Structure 1
Amino acid sequence: MSETVTTPLAVRPPTAAPPVLGGLGLFTVLLAAALPLVDFFIVNVALPAIGTDLAAGEAVLELVVAGYGVAYAVLLVLGGRLGDLFGRRRLFLGGMAAFGLTSLACGLAPGAWGLVAARIAQGASAAAMLPQVLATIQAATAGPRRARAMSLYGATAGLSMVAGQILGGVLVAADVAGTGWRAVFLVNVPVVLAGLVLAVRCVPETRAPRPEAVDGPGTVLLALSLLTLLVPLTEGRAAGWPLWTWLSLAAFPFVAGAFWAVERRADRAGRTPLVPPSLLATPSLRRGLLLIVPFSVGFSGFMFVIALALQQGAGLGPVPAGLALAPMAVVFLFTSLAGPRLIARHGSRVVTAGSVVQAVGVLLIVLAVRQDWPHLGVGSLLPGAAVAGAGQALQLPNLMRIVMSEVPPARAGVGSGVMVTTQQSALALGVATLGTLFLTLVPHVGMRDALVTALLAQLAGVALTGLLSLRLPRDIR
């Protein structure tokens, strides 16, 4: 008589369902993606009010912008690695809660240096939160849903940059409950509370199947590389270019070279470094990053310079200065919604067309500045801002989609950290380079011609983006 044999299948536990990011979950992570970028730009039109209220000099005001941007850029890749290691939802919730608390600290800062310290902490908390957004999208979506989510992420990023500047002007002028400039930071608190409630309910937990330990030497060397480049460029002009700025810039290529050597050695040894050279060998990621750099440098430099020129040169208040860019935001929004359909039909040529359209928009702004200065406003800037916004919308969402298109889900945290670090570093670099060019020229050639020169420098970056985009493969997944 034969015995009944229980097969392993009878006792095997059911396979866990793969994580799925639903519609409300996608809205939640996109809300979180908007917060750090809005906060990078929201202070541009608030700087004059902050300087007056806190008796802060130009160097300290630049630190209010640079401290946030540098801390954000330095820690982004580490934030992506920690999400892979401990769980992306856990890091997302912790980073978002910290972002709310540090925003509150910024809004309640009693003095200029307290505000600088709070801004640095705010940038660090953003670096813990933001990489989890892209990593979660990459790990919890697939196929057409992932393509749509990535397009929406890129649209959110671009719109947030323009909307932040507009929102900053409105909040400063509104003087909500007598808070003045502090409202640009305090507004984050209720948004973060709502986001935390939604995230607990709707954002799935994901993590790398084989997470690697934190790359200590790589983290330190990447931080030093970015600091030696970004700090002297952002602070050098206001500080009078002392010796330490030149020594720091001279040290940058050596520190960056040491970082790359350490990462290559770790990669060849079979470990997973902070920025794996093998990941950068992915063609779509490498080419996309090369395009994001000139685009982001020009974009952030333009936003910083136009905010100063409209307020200090054209004599506009914070609301008119912010609303002057409203056509750019509106056109960006509607054009980006058509992006997925255009990419499906025309592929990467949409990016090239976008650079041409943006170039036309920048030239129209240059003509408006030359003809109407100092009487600039929404009317005179509308044609150029609208056309430039359309061109930007055809580029940024699709560039981000290109970068992440071939990154495997297991390396989503690392890939998203690398991409956002590149973007954020380029944004900070744009403020430093174009901002320094503009402010250096103002005493010598006047505000109008300094602005025109900065816009033409941005135009060179747009042209470079267009030329590089010609090397992209036609199809974008």
Structure 2
Amino acid sequence: MTDTLLATRPTRQRRATPGGLTPAGLTTLLIGAALAPIDFMVVNVALPTIDRDLHASTATLELIVAGYGISYALLLVLGGRLGDAFGRRRLFLTGLAAFTLTSLVCGLAPNVQTLIAARIAQGAAGALMLPQVLATIQATTTGTRRARAIGRFGATSGIASLIGQVGGGLLLAANVANTGWRPIFLINVPIGLTALLLAVRTVPATRSDRPARADLAGTVLLAVGVAALLVPLTEGRALGWPGWLLALFAVAPFAAVAFFLVERRIERSGRVPLLPPSLLRLAGVRGGLLAAVPFFVGFGGFMFVYALAMQQGLGLGPLGAGLAISPLAVSFFVFSMLSPRLIGRFGRRSLPFGVAVQGLGIALMIPVALFGWSHRAPLLLIVPLVIAGAGQAVGALTIFRVVLSDVPADRAGAGSGILTTTQQTALALGTALLGSLYATVAGSGSGSGSGAGAGGAAGDGAAHGMAAVLAVQLAACVLIAALGRRLPQPR
């Protein structure tokens, strides 16, 4: 039975509406898709205010961010499988309702312990909701309609980062009714309730025609493996890398191997595992995920380091740092909308083309970091950021198209789950690895005491740290371009 999935192509889907996904239904799904990344980004700019209000330690502040991200990444594949089995609209509604409720609890949290618990639950709710977006698109659209829908999904991801950083800074600056950081969560409540009402009427009901039994062993092993990787990466620096954290990190590869072996055994027995290994034998899935890892490692690391460099090296506040990255986010949004035509015309060549454009933008940023690091740097970086954002949009959407075009419709939830899990894990890995590189180079640079730049020695360190991260990301672009040449044509 190892080739059962490979032999299965898109099958009949149960839909609430014969016309499939309408523009109103897609818009409703994209609202849900935006809420999860917005809430991840918005907390970063609010941490100092939360610290002053709730008197949290550094490690506790890290947990407010990491608790959300870890539970989110842990449950994405499971959320996709549950949607396949019980209905994608049902899981979308469940996740959206839970996200709205946990946002209310976050906004009303009386202490930091309640806030951390609510953030973990909020991440889990997001993991139930998000896979249903791509899975519903996969199950209800084809051809150019699917291409446009995935393009809008990518555009939503790009603009969500901007909304999270800039919108969060605006809400904090407004200090509505002297409530400090709480509106960044409470604003989700009316948005979530509105989306719930719309979803009931506009989102088509789809599910797999072959719902599978629960894969408890695979679920546990995947959770252990992802947690063993992400907990050390997100909490290691804050806790000073204690021995137990290093031991947990060492568990990750063993859990990954055990997960693969268990999933292969389940599939060979004729049952459906949590993540069918035969998915990875599909050329588009395997090649697309391989390209996705360095792509999103670089993207996650860049977004994290850029915000740090703007604040530590140039003295910008949270709102200023958010505005400084806005040229990239706006460019990403615009070119995500244009990408379907480019991908339709150039196919798999769109990925090497996209990362080449992205690499050009990154290359133009390096001399600004090394020789133009002053209060004018945000202005000098506008054009490179626009170029990089355009290339990132084309590259990201090509990866999404390649992976999803090979996934059978009755396994759309599992396919979108593995894609989003790979994306989120790579983003966390990039933040940890490139963030550590930045901290190391910036620390040594700040000790030189040359005094040039916007912030003296600290400004020099931030500039050198950012240049080092940009150099690594430029090398990653070369690797991704080479991998892109081997991908199958997206459909």
Q: TM-score, normalised by structure 1?
A: 0.92
Q: Cα distance, 1:374 vs. partner?
A: 4.4
SS in 1 for 2:182: helix
Aligned to 2:463: 448
Q: Confirm whether residue 372 of structure 1 aligns to residue 372 of structure 2.
A: yes
The aligned counterpart of 1:413 is: 413
Choose 346-355 or 223-232, whichever is displaced more.
Answer: 346-355
Flag the 1:309–1:116 CA change in 2: closer, same or farther, 3 A: farther
Match of 1:103 in 2: 103
Cα 1:377–1:198 change in 2 (3 A) is farther
How far apart, in 1, do the equivalents of 2:29 and 2:175 lie?
Answer: 29
- Of stretches 362-371 and 284-293 in structure 1, the one that deviates more from structure 2 is 362-371
Q: How does 1:69-218 map to 2 (within 5 A)?
A: 69-218=69-218
Give how far 1:329 is off.
Answer: 1.7
Q: How much does 1:106 deviate?
A: 1.8
Q: Which amino acid is the alignment partner of residue 329 of structure 1?
A: A
Given that 2:233 and 2:428 are in contact with CA atoms closer than 8 Å, whether structure 1 keeps it comes out as no
Match of residue 224 from structure 2? 224
When residues 86 and 52 of structure 1 are mapped into structure 2, their CA distance, relative to the original with a 3 A threshold, is same
- The answer to whether 1:308 aligns with 2:322 is no
**Matched residue count:** 462
1:6 aligned residue: none
1:149 is matched by which residue type in structure 2?
Answer: A
1:459 to 474, 484, 488: 474
8 Å CA contact 1:320, 1:378 repeated in 2: no
AA partner of residue 470 (structure 1): R
- Point out the more displaced range, 295-304 or 111-120: 111-120
Q: CA deviation at 1:160?
A: 2.0
1:344-383 per-residue CA deviation (whole Å, 9 max, x = no partner) reads: 2211212111101111212222222223334255413212
1:375-413 alpha-carbon deviations (Å, 9 max, x no partner): 255413212211111111111122111110021111111
Residue of structure 2 equivalent to 1:388 = 388
| In structure 1, C-alpha distance between the alignment counterparts of 2:234 and 2:264, rounded to whole Å | 30
User: Quick one: distance in 2 between partners of 1:22 and 1:44?
Assistant: 35
Q: Matched residues in 2 for 1:440 and 1:182: separation? A: 34
Q: SS in structure 1 opposite 2:490? A: coil
Counterpart of 1:110, as a letter, is P
Contact 2:58 2:238 in 1 (8 A): yes
Matched, 1:397 2:412: no
Q: Structure 1 residues 404 and 96 mapped into 2: Cα distance closer, same or farther (>3 Å)? A: same
Read off the aligned partner of 1:476 and give its amino acid letter: P
* TM-score calculated relative to the size of structure 2: 0.90
C-alpha contact 1:155 1:396 (8 A) present in aligned 2 = no
* Whole-angstrom CA distance in 2 between matches of 1:382 and 1:243: 43
Structure 1 contact 68–120 (Cα < 8 Å) conserved: yes
| 2:62 corresponds to | 62
- Return closer, same or farther for 1:98/1:444 CA change in 2, 3 Å cut-off: same
| Corresponding residue for residue 490 of structure 2 | 476
Q: Post-superposition shift, 1:229?
A: 0.9
Residue 322 of structure 1 deviates from its aligned partner by 0.5
Q: More displaced, 53-62 or 70-79?
A: 53-62
CA distance in 1: counterparts of 2:162 and 2:268, whole angstroms: 42
Deviation at 1:169, TM superposition (A): 2.2
**Matches of 1:301 and 1:109, distance apart in 2:** 30
Change over 3 Å in CA distance of 1:401–1:272 after alignment to 2:
same
Structure 1 residue 340 displacement after superposition:
1.3
Alpha-carbon distance in structure 2 between the residues aligned to 1:104 and 1:320: 28
In structure 1, the residue matched to 2:265 is 265
Tell me, in whole angstroms, the C-alpha distance in 2 between the residues paired with 1:361 and 1:106.
Answer: 38
Q: Give the match for residue 346 of structure 1.
A: 346
In structure 2, relative to structure 1, the CA distance for the partners of 1:365 and 1:110 (3 Å cut) is farther
Shift of 1:328: 1.0
Once residues 348 and 238 of structure 2 are traced to their aligned partners in structure 1, the CA distance between those partners, rounded to angstroms, is 41
Amino acid across the alignment from 1:186: L
**Alpha-carbon distance between aligned partners in 1 of 2:200 and 2:143, rounded to the nearest angstrom:** 25
1:435–1:54 Cα change, 3 Å? farther
- What secondary structure is seen at the aligned counterpart in 2 of 1:325? helix
- Higher mean Cα deviation, 463-472 or 407-416? 463-472
Partner of 1:284: 284
Query: Which digits, 9 at most, give the CA deviation of each residue in 1:95-133, with x for residues without a partner?
Result: 001111111222222233322221111100001111111
Letter in 2 for 1:425: T
C-alpha distance in 2, partners of 1:362/1:169? 26
- SS at the partner of 2:181? helix
CA distance in 2, matches of 1:114, 1:415: 34
SS of 1:181's partner is coil
C-alpha separation between the residues in 1 aligned to 2:468 and 2:183?
A: 33
Following the alignment from structure 2 to structure 1, what is the Cα–Cα distance between the partners of residues 56 and 439? Answer: 18
The CA deviation at 1:156 is 1.8
Q: CA deviation at 1:309?
A: 2.1
Q: Tell me the SS of whatever aligns to 2:209.
A: coil
Q: Does 1:23 align with 2:23?
A: yes
CA displacement at 1:185 relative to structure 2: 1.8
How far 1:323 moved relative to its partner?
A: 0.5
Is this contact kept in 1: 2:16–2:205, CA < 8 A? no
When structure 1 is superposed on structure 2, of 148-157 and 76-85 the one drifting more is 148-157
- Tell me how far apart the structure 2 counterparts of residues 440 and 274 of structure 1 sit (CA, whole Å): 39
The answer as to whether partners of 2:165 and 2:318 remain within 8 angstroms in 1 is: no
Distance 1:259 1:119, change over 3 A: same
Task: After superposing the two structures, state which structure 1 stretch, 267-276 or 30-39, moved more.
Answer: 30-39
Q: Is the contact made by 1:103 and 1:118 (CA closer than 8 Å) also made in structure 2?
A: yes
Asked whether the 8 Å contact 1:45–1:307 carries over to 2, the reply is no
